[in-house]
Amino acid sequence: MDSLFGTSNTDTVRSSRIIYTPSVFARSSLLHLQETGTLQALHPHKSERSGLHSCLFFTVLSGTGRLVYEGGAHELQAGDCVFIDCRKPYSHETGMQDSRSRTAEGSQAAKSAQAVECGRPADSGQPAPSGLWSLQWCHFYGPNMNAIYRKYLERGGRPVFRPAHPEKYMSILTDLFQIAGSADYVRDMRIQEKLSSLLILLMEDAWDTRKKVPGRSGSMKRSEKSSGSAPVDFGMDPSDPSETSADTHQDAPADKTANVQQVKEYLDENFREKITLDDLSARFFINKYYLLTLFKDRYGVTVTAYLNQMRVTWVKQQLRFTDRTAESLAAELQIEPAYLSRLFKKVEGVSPSEFRKSWKGDA
């Protein structure tokens, strides 16, 4: 698991975002984060995507814009929320000619957003242009997300809605941003917990008692009436320890723990260099086999896996926001292009070129 925080300033937007690379276990077994952050549009712009194995949730903090999804066009303003399946074609825009202005009814939501301590749009020293939106968002996915999104629609959920309490969604997004940027060795599990909370909130707000569901009577069950929503099942088995808890963490001596922290910090700063276990052993005066054990105990992944995930996360950022070739990125990482391509596909499930085609652009 790894993340790369960055403040991305382009001609059209400025943003604070974390591009996240989950562990292999998280990608195959958990709800996992792909990206989260905030952005402020600086100039009119439009983003279009399709065929992306991801779900996108965002809330409009201020300004106005437009979403086109599933054949429908939705005008958006502060306080509106969006939840869509990105496998289907979609586009969103702000400040474009056909993005009609609306009265700003969501001023309270925008004020609440400013109170959020982390994950707010980066300050570029210039005021935000009037009418252009600012967003807080996350891209995420999971092995059962297709079924979960279908259930959301069955419960009356819509791609665009206006919640009574948008601050609850902003709080979850802020927590996700903080967790993704932390060094918590069980952060994939904590991210799963927060994404589950987001989905529960979405299901609760989607529930429409006037909507007739096949196989149900016109009235809700007693348990649903008392809670205001029906039970939500994400396919987790509470009786299975592997699905409800993380591995037990064994504490190491304080001096060795400090060494491991220094190793991680070194990898964070120098992942583009050619690094071997022997190099780390000599630099930090620790047996390389003992280092492997301590690092895995502390961070839940091996040194090699952590280094590879740092590199893949950096490559994802470069593919998203620059025009650099995979060959030039491999050269900077001091590895062969063919090896980078194999590593990238092993971690992300697609080639670098396929990733660039799917993810190019902003949220």
Q: Which string of DSSP letters, residue by residue, matches 251-268?
A: P--HHHHHHHHHHHHHHH
Which tokens hold the place of 249?
């963490």
Query: Which of 2 and 200 is assigned the larger pLDDT?
Result: 200
Is 218 inside any structural domain? no
- Report the pLDDT value the prediction gives residue 225, as an integer from 0 to 100: 36
Q: Are residues 75 and 169 in the same domain?
A: yes
pLDDT for residue 206 is more than 90: no
Q: Are residues 24 and 157 in the same domain?
A: yes
Strand arrangement, sheet containing 72-77: 45-49, 90-94, 64-69, 72-77
Q: Indicate the range of 162-171, 248-257, 312-321, 332-341 predicted with least confidence.
A: 248-257
Is 219 inside any structural domain? no
Q: Are residues 92 and 12 in the same domain?
A: yes
Is 316 inside any structural domain? yes
Domain count within the chain: 2
Nearest Cα to Cα of residue 170 among 134, 214, 207, 131: 134
- Report the pLDDT value the prediction gives residue 100, as an integer from 0 to 100: 43
**Which residue's structure tokens are 């965002």?**
58
Question: pLDDT category, 222, cuts 50, 70, 90?
Answer: very low
Q: Are residues 96 and 163 in the same domain?
A: yes
pLDDT for residue 282 is more than 50: yes
- Report the pLDDT value the prediction gives residue 229, as an integer from 0 to 100: 37
* Average pLDDT score, the chain: 79
pLDDT tens digits, residue range 303-351?
Answer: 999 999 999 999 998 998 899 999 999 999 999 999 999 999 998 889 9
Is 216 inside any structural domain? no
Domain that residue 166 falls in: 2-211+224-243
Question: pLDDT category, 219, cuts 50, 70, 90?
Answer: very low
Question: Which of 85-99, 159-173, 202-216, 229-243 is the most confident on average?
Answer: 159-173
Rg of the chain, C-alpha, whole Å: 22
- Report the pLDDT value the prediction gives residue 122, as an integer from 0 to 100: 43
- Report the pLDDT value the prediction gives residue 362, as an integer from 0 to 100: 65
- Report the pLDDT value the prediction gives residue 8, as an integer from 0 to 100: 53
- Report the pLDDT value the prediction gives residue 170, as an integer from 0 to 100: 97
Q: Are residues 190 and 295 in the same domain?
A: no
- Report the pLDDT value the prediction gives residue 243, as an integer from 0 to 100: 35
Question: pLDDT category, 115, cuts 50, 70, 90?
Answer: very low
Strand partners, 37: 17, 137
- DSSP classification of residue 9: E
- DSSP classification of residue 279: H
CATH number at 286 reads: 1.10.10.60
pLDDT tens digits, residue range 266-281?
Answer: 999 999 999 999 999 9
pLDDT for residue 98 is more than 60: no
Q: Are residues 11 and 115 in the same domain?
A: yes
Is 248 inside any structural domain? no
- DSSP classification of residue 138: E
Percent of the chain whose predicted confidence (pLDDT) is above 70: 73
Query: Which of 120 and 206 is assigned the larger pLDDT?
Result: 206
- Report the pLDDT value the prediction gives residue 134, as an integer from 0 to 100: 96
- Residue 93 CA: distances (Å) to CA of 45, 120, 125, 159: 6, 20, 24, 15
CATH number at 29 reads: 2.60.120.280
Q: Are residues 293 and 237 in the same domain?
A: no
Element (H, E) at 18: strand 13-21
pLDDT for residue 363 is more than 70: no
Q: Are residues 62 and 141 in the same domain?
A: yes
Q: Are residues 160 and 277 in the same domain?
A: no
Q: Are residues 272 and 192 in the same domain?
A: no
- Report the pLDDT value the prediction gives residue 208, as an integer from 0 to 100: 52
pLDDT tens digits, residue range 21-76?
Answer: 998 889 999 999 999 999 999 999 899 999 999 999 999 999 999 999 998 999 99
What does the alpha-carbon distance between residue 233 and residue 152 come to, in Å, rounded to a whole number?
11
- Report the pLDDT value the prediction gives residue 110, as an integer from 0 to 100: 42
- Report the pLDDT value the prediction gives residue 220, as an integer from 0 to 100: 35
Q: Are residues 190 and 259 in the same domain?
A: no
Q: What is the phi/psi pair of residue 157, to 5°?
A: -65, 145
Is 30 inside any structural domain? yes
Q: Are residues 129 and 176 in the same domain?
A: yes
- Report the pLDDT value the prediction gives residue 12, as an integer from 0 to 100: 83
User: Residue 210 in contact with residue 151, Cβ under 8 Å?
Assistant: no
User: Residue 288 in contact with residue 278, Cβ under 8 Å?
Assistant: yes
Is 137 inside any structural domain? yes
Is 63 inside any structural domain? yes
Average pLDDT over residues 102-122: 42
